Amino acid sequence: MNRKKRAQQIMQILDRLYPKAPILLKHKQDNHFTFLVAVLLSARATDKVVNKITPTLFELADTPEKMMKVPVKKIREIIKPIGLSPAKSKNIKALSQILVNQFKGKVPDSFAALESLPGVGHKTASVIMAQAFHHPAFPVDTHIHRLAKRWGLSNGKSVVQTERDLKKVFPKEKWKKLHLQMIFFGREYCKALKHKETDCPICSRFQT
C-alpha cells in the first residue's frame, strides 16, 4: 500500500474518532497574543500544566503592551512550574517589546516574522499560522514525528522531513485539523511508551 492510500485510511479513522478537535491550550478568544504565549509555554510542557498557569499570567497581562512592562522576574515566578521557565520568561518579555516596537502590538501573520521572535521556532510559528490565521500549515512536534514514522508515512529522520512527507500525502485543507487529531490520537492510543500495536486502531491496521 502506498503512502497516499495509507494516509487516506488513517484520515478516515481519525475523523471517526475525533470529528471535532478543539485547541486545548487556554487563551483569550480572538486574542492572538495570548495564544502565541500559550503555545510558546507548551514547548516541553504538558497542556495541563500550561493551562494552570496562563489564567494568572493573562490576568496580569494579556497584551504585548502590558506584558512588556512586567518584570522578567515576575513572569518567571508565575511560569516557574513549566520547563525552561528562565528562558521562556525572558522570551515572553522580549517578544512583547518587539511586537509593540516593530509590529504595532499585533502578532504577525507570516512565518518569517513569527520565527524572528525570541523563543518562536518553526513548529510554534506553524501552530499560530494554522490555528490563529488559518494558513495552510502542518505543525510537527515530536509526537506527530513519532506517529508518522510508526504509520509508515515518513522515514522519521527529522521533523523537517516528516513535515514535508505529511504535506505530500494529506490534502492541504485537512492539515489544520489533522495536526490536532494526531495529537489526540497519540495521547490516547499511540503513546511513546508501552505502546502495543495490537491495541492501536491505526498501527494494528498496518501490521506486517
The reported pTM is 0.91
Tell me: pLDDT of 35 over 80: yes
Q: C-alpha angle with apex 143: 165 to 193, nearest 5 degrees?
A: 130
Element (H, E) at 14: helix 3-17
CATH of domain 32-132: 1.10.340.30
Residue 207 has a pLDDT of 65
Q: Please tell me the predicted confidence (pLDDT) of residue 143.
A: 87
Told to judge if 62 belongs to the known catalytic residues of this protein, a careful annotator would answer: no
Which of 15, 80, 106, 123 is catalytic? The answer is: 123
User: Contact 175/148 with Cβ under 8 angstroms?
Assistant: no
The pLDDT of residue 52 is: 96
* Domain coordinates in residue numbering, the chain: 3-21+138-206, 32-132
DSSP assignment string, 68-121: TTS-HHHHHHHHTTSTTHHHHHHHHHHHHHHHHHHHTT----SHHHHHTSTT--
pLDDT at res. 29: 87
Rounded-to-integer distance, Cα 67 and Cα 199, Å: 46
Residues 130-185 have pLDDT tens digits of: 999 999 999 998 889 999 999 999 987 899 999 999 999 999 999 999 999 999 99
Catalytic residue among 88, 93, 141, 177: 141
| pLDDT band at residue 1 under the 50/70/90 scheme | confident
Tell me the mean pLDDT in the region 86-101.
98
- What percent of the chain is modeled with pLDDT above 90? 84
* CATH number of the 3-21+138-206 domain: 1.10.1670.10
